[in-house]
Amino acid sequence: MPAEPASAHAADNANGGASGPLSAPAALRIFSGIQPTGDKHLGNYIGAIRQYVDGQDRGEALYCIVDLHALTAAHDPDALRRSVYDLTALLVAAGLDPTRCLLFRQSDVPEHTELSWILCCLTEVGRLQRMHQFRDKSVAQRELVNAGVLFYPVLQAADVLAYRAHEVPVGEDQREHLELMRDVARRFNSRFGQGGEVLVVPEHRIPEVGARIMDLQEPTRKMSTTGGSEEGTVYVLDEPEIIERKIRRAVTDSGAGIVRGADKPGVSNLIEIMAVARGCTPEEIEAQMASARGYGDLKAAVAQATVEMLAPVRDRYADLRADERALDAILAAGAQRAKAIAAATLTDVRQCVGVGALSAAPSAAIGTVGR
Ligand code: AMP
Ligand code: TRP
């Protein structure tokens, strides 16, 4: 799957395949986080989840269900716990294989929050206040906006930096968060690294096609759990007939051509969805649809491709979700292995910033310049 940018590590596949994901130090470590809020939709699936599945073959893959991030919005405690199970089952149904990746719950690894605090002390409040997500939410919620919304990107930075991950698969809306994360890592290294790279500066991996799937009813807005239209949002677990109905009713544009263009957001979105679902390029879809009779044909083809892509996930989901003990076991095993990695990073971080007891043997990541 093409994605941007081709990172320095992208060609490595050291830990993929038969040797098992965690048998050797990672040449390419992939990390992403996803919130256990709301029902996951086609945008999440195309922009993020498919890339997670892909990552299992490309490197050592770690995926985190970020329940602490979910606290920044009003929530019901029992519903939040259930949502973590829902999302675990969904991710496994979508193809995450706990023997080939590490899947865990953020709050099970307290190193994330400790590192987050340390990184807060390296981050300007003004920068956080200017971030799009904070500005959007603070306008929507006025003075009720909580400090967690402001510090959200710092916790996100800690999620990734605690694992010294090289690559972060995300959709387009996370670009700004990734930039902050990179800057914080660089700042940490220059302030405390003594010439070494204590924290790895990660690369984003944003797909070339499908990084921003739009709402089917309002194709100038991204498909989203909050704020989108119900009829314009296809959920991964929607029944096939519902998916067909939503796509059939998608808002298209004036003019009949089935081609992408800035003045054709509705048609462009449908072409992108179809390209991803069929595993080909948008140009190929345009060529295939050149003889179509109109948007009706396009919508029928997109609906069929989307149903075929999502049906296997839906088929597997119910059985997986029914067995909470099995889901607990996946999350517990993931957290245990994640903690071992994050704890090693935190040992170095504490050493560097001067908190905690002095360690006898500094890690190789800590430079020797100035010692
Ligand atoms: P969230 O559900 O907000 O935790 O998002 C999970 C992932 O889905 C993130 O990597 C987002 O960038 C990605 N994502 C969310 N909405 C879209 C969309 N409309 N198109 C593509 N990717 C998306
Ligand atoms: N902020 C991300 C989102 O809303 C979720 C997230 C939390 C994340 N921690 C992360 C994504 C670390 C990538 C890496 O989608």
3-state secondary structure 202-238: CEEEEECCCCCCECCCCCCCECCCCCCCCCCCCECCC
Same domain, 311 and 334: no
DSSP 146-195: -HHHHHHHHHHHHHHHTTT-SEEE--GGGHHHHHHHHHHHHHHHHHHSTT
pLDDT at 370 over 80: no
Domain range spanning residue 264? Answer: 240-321
In short, whether 94's Cβ falls inside 6 Å of ligand 2 is: no
Q: How far apart are CA 146 and CA 114, in angstroms?
A: 20
Q: The domain that contains 281 carries what CATH number?
A: 1.10.240.10
Q: What would the pLDDT profile of 4-33 be if each residue is shown by its tens digit?
A: 653 444 433 333 333 333 434 569 999 999
In short, whether 66's Cβ falls inside 6 Å of ligand 1 is: no
Give the number of the atom of ligand 1 that is nearest the alpha carbon of residue 213. 20
Same domain, 204 and 272: no
In short, whether 98's Cβ falls inside 6 Å of ligand 1 is: no
Q: For residue 175, tell me if it sits in a domain.
A: yes
Q: What would the pLDDT profile of 330-362 be if each residue is shown by its tens digit?
A: 999 999 999 999 999 999 999 999 999 987 766
Give the number of the atom of ligand 2 that is nearest the alpha carbon of residue 35. 5
Q: What would the pLDDT profile of 244-299 be if each residue is shown by its tens digit?
A: 999 999 999 887 789 999 999 999 999 999 999 999 999 999 999 999 888 999 99
Same domain, 71 and 202: yes
Same domain, 177 and 96: yes
Q: What is the reported pTM?
A: 0.92
pLDDT higher at 22 or 300: 300
Tell me how many domains the chain contains.
Answer: 2
Q: For residue 232, tell me if it sits in a domain.
A: no
Q: What would the pLDDT profile of 138-176 be if each residue is shown by its tens digit?
A: 877 666 789 999 999 999 999 999 999 999 999 999 999
Same domain, 76 and 133: yes
Same domain, 145 and 291: no
In short, whether 273's Cβ falls inside 6 Å of ligand 1 is: no
Q: Tokens representing 258?
A: 């089935």
